[in-house]
C-alpha cells in the first residue's frame, strides 16, 4: 500500500513538472513571436491573442488552459452572485426546455458579442452572470425594441440612455451600439450595486428603476419586514427578473439537465473597432470587408441611415477580426466613390413620391431612409438623403441632425405630458373627458391592458397645447 502511494506521488510530481515546463515554454514562445505575425495569423483563423484597437486585455491572455478555447468555461469560473431559490426559476427553466429553438437562436446571436461583454465585466471585477443579462433583456438581439421604447441588447429606454451618454438622433441611436451600450449598462449596474449593496437588488433596480426598489425597501423597513430582494413587494416582472437570470445561468451551466445543447463559443474576440473613412456607405463597407450586409448591420446596428458618418468626422465601426485586413486592403485599391448618397434641399409643399421618382428610388424606401411621415406633401422645407447626383451638395451631417432635432423640439412643444393620481371613484373614461382625450389614448400611453385603474395609481396624460394665444381681458 505504501509503495503504491509513493509511486503515485512520484507520478503526480512528474505531471506537475511537465505542466510547469510546458507553461514556461509557452511563455518564452510568446515573448519571441512578433505581434504583427500573430495578427496576420488571426485573419486565417488561428487563436486570437490581441485586437487591433486594444479590445482584448492582458487579463484574457493570462486565462488558464481550461478556458482558453471555451468562453462558457470562463464565464462559469467568474460566477459571483448567490444562487436564488424561487418557484419562478423553475417556470423559466421549463420554458427554455420546451423551446430549444429559441435557446439556439439566442446563443447563436450572442456569439458575436459575448466575448466582448465578458471582457468588460471582468475588467470591472463584476460577476460574470452580468454577461448573461442581455439574454433576458433582449435575447442578445441588438435591434430589439420594446413597447416601452427600450432598445439594444441592454434595453435602455431613451431617458436612461441619454443620462448615461448614449446619444440618440436622426443619424444614429447609440443604445444599439454594442460597445457603448455595454459600457453604459455596466456603469449603471455598478451605480445600483453601490446604492443597494447586493447584486439581486441592483438587478431589480435595473429592471424597475431605483425609485421603485427604494420605495419597496422603505415600506418594508417601516413595517418591520426584511428588506432583501425576495421579501420586497415589487412589480411582477421585477419579482421574476432575478429568478429568470438564475434559470439562464442554470441552463448554460448544466444544459444536459434540461435536454439542451449549448453551442461552444471560442474564448476569443469576434470583432474589433476600426476608424473608417469620413463618409462611407454601409453597403460599400460590407463589400470591402467581404461580409454580408446583414453581418455588418448586426455589428453596427446603431446607424439608422445608409451612410456611415458623424458630426465630428471621427467615428468607429465594428468588423469581424478575420476581415479587418481584407477591408483595409480592398479600401486602399478602391477607386469608386465611397458614398452613393447626397443631400436634396426639398421645398415646402413638394410631393414626396415625385421627389423619389425624380431620383429613381422607390417611394417606400425613400420615406424609410428619411423617416418621412405618411402625408403626400412636405409641410416644411427639409434636407433629404437622395441617391448621389454630381450637381447636388455633399452630405452635411450636422445640418441633417440639427434639422431633425428642431422638428422633435417642435413636436414636444405641441404636446405636453401631465401626471394624474387616481382618486377614489374615478374611472379612466371620466379622466379622459376631463383632459379632452379618450380612453384608448390613455390606455396606449400608459400601456394598460384594460381600462381598470386603482386608487393612488399615477397615469400620464397627453395634452395638446392650444394654438390660440390667451388674450388679456381688460377690466
* Cβ atoms of residues 341 and 307 within 8 Å: yes
* Cβ atoms of residues 270 and 320 within 8 Å: yes
Q: Which residues, in sequence order, are bridge partners of residue 462?
A: 417
What separation in angstroms does the CA of 415 have from each of 137, 231, 412? 31, 40, 5
For the chain, the farthest-separated pair of C-alpha atoms sits apart, in whole angstroms, at: 116
Q: How many CB atoms lie within 10 A of CB 40?
A: 12
285/277 Cα distance (integer angstroms): 10
Q: Is 437 exposed, middle or buried (0-12, 13-18, 19+ CB in 10 A)?
A: middle
* Cβ atoms of residues 198 and 224 within 8 Å: no
> Out of 119, 122, 129, 137, which one is annotated catalytic?
137
Compute the radius of gyration of the chain from its Cα atoms. Answer: 28
Helices 178-196, 199-208: axis angle to 10 degrees equals 120
What separation in angstroms does the CA of 238 have from each of 11, 227, 233, 449? 54, 15, 10, 18
The verdict on whether 237 is a catalytic residue reads: no
453/436 Cα distance (integer angstroms): 19
Helices (H) and strands (E) in the chain, counts: 22, 8
276/317 Cα distance (integer angstroms): 7
Catalytic residue numbers, as ranges: 137
Amino acid at each position: 500500500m505504501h509503495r503504491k502511494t509513493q509511486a503515485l506521488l512520484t507520478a503526480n510530481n512528474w505531471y506537475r513538472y511537465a505542466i510547469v515546463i510546458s507553461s514556461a515554454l509557452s511563455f518564452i514562445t510568446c515573448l519571441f513571436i512578433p505581434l504583427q505575425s500573430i495578427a496576420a495569423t488571426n485573419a486565417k483563423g488561428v487563436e486570437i491573442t490581441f485586437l487591433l484597437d486594444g479590445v482584448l486585455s492582458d487579463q484574457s491572455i493570462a486565462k488558464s488552459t481550461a478556458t482558453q478555447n471555451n468562453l462558457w468555461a470562463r464565464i462559469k469560473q467568474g460566477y459571483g452572485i448567490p444562487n436564488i431559490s424561487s418557484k419562478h426559476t423553475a417556470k423559466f427553466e421549463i420554458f427554455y426546455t420546451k423551446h430549444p429553438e429559441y435557446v439556439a437562436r439566442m446563443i447563436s446571436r450572442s456569439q458575436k458579442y459575448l466575448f466582448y461583454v465578458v471582457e468588460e465585466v471582468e475588467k470591472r471585477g463584476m460577476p460574470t452572470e452580468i454577461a448573461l443579462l442581455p439574454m433576458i433583456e433582449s435575447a442578445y438581439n441588438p435591434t430589439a425594441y420594446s413597447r416601452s421604447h427600450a432598445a439594444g441588447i441592454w434595453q435602455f429606454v431613451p431617458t436612461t440612455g441619454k443620462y448615461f451618454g448614449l446619444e440618440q438622433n436622426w443619424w444614429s441611436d447609440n443604445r444599439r451600439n454594442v460597445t457603448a451600450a455595454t459600457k453604459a449598462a455596466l456603469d449603471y449596474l455598478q451605480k445600483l450595486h453601490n446604492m443597494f449593496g447586493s447584486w439581486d437588488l441592483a438587478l431589480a433596480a435595473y429592471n424597475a428603476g431605483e425609485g421603485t426598489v427604494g420605495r419597496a425597501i422603505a415600506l418594508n423597513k417601516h413595517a418591520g419586514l426584511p428588506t432583501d430582494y425576495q421579501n420586497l413587494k415589487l412589480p411582477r416582472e421585477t419579482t421574476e427578473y432575478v429568478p429568470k437570470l438564475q434559470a439562464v445561468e442554470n441552463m448554460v451551466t448544466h444544459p444536459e439537465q434540461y435536454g439542451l445543447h449549448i453551442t461552444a463559443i471560442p474564448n476569443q474576440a469576434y470583432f474589433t473597432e476600426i476608424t473608417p473613412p469620413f463618409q462611407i456607405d454601409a453597403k460599400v463597407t460590407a463589400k470591402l470587408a467581404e461580409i454580408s450586409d446583414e453581418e455588418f448591420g448586426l455589428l453596427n446596428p446603431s446607424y439608422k441611415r445608409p451612410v456611415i458618418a458623424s458630426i465630428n468626422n471621427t467615428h468607429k465601426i465594428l468588423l469581424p477580426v478575420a476581415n479587418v485586413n481584407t477591408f483595409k486592403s480592398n479600401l486602399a485599391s478602391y477607386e469608386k466613390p465611397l458614398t452613393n448618397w447626397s443631400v436634396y434641399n426639398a421645398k415646402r409643399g413638394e410631393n414626396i413620391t415625385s421627389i423619389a421618382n425624380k431620383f429613381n428610388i422607390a417611394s417606400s424606401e425613400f420615406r424609410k431612409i428619411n423617416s418621412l411621415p405618411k402625408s403626400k406633401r412636405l409641410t416644411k422645407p427639409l434636407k433629404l438623403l437622395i441617391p448621389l447626383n454630381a450637381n447636388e451638395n455633399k452630405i452635411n451631417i450636422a445640418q441633417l441632425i440639427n434639422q431633425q432635432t428642431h422638428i422633435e423640439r417642435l413636436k414636444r412643444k405641441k404636446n405636453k405630458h401631465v401626471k394624474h393620481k387616481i382618486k377614489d371613484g374615478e374611472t379612466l373614461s371620466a379622466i379622459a373627458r376631463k383632459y379632452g382625450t379618450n380612453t384608448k389614448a390613455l390606455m396606449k400611453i400608459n400601456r394598460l391592458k384594460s381600462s381598470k385603474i386603482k386608487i393612488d395609481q399615477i397615469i400620464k396624460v397627453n395634452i395638446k397645447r392650444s394654438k390660440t394665444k390667451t388674450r388679456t381681458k381688460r377690466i
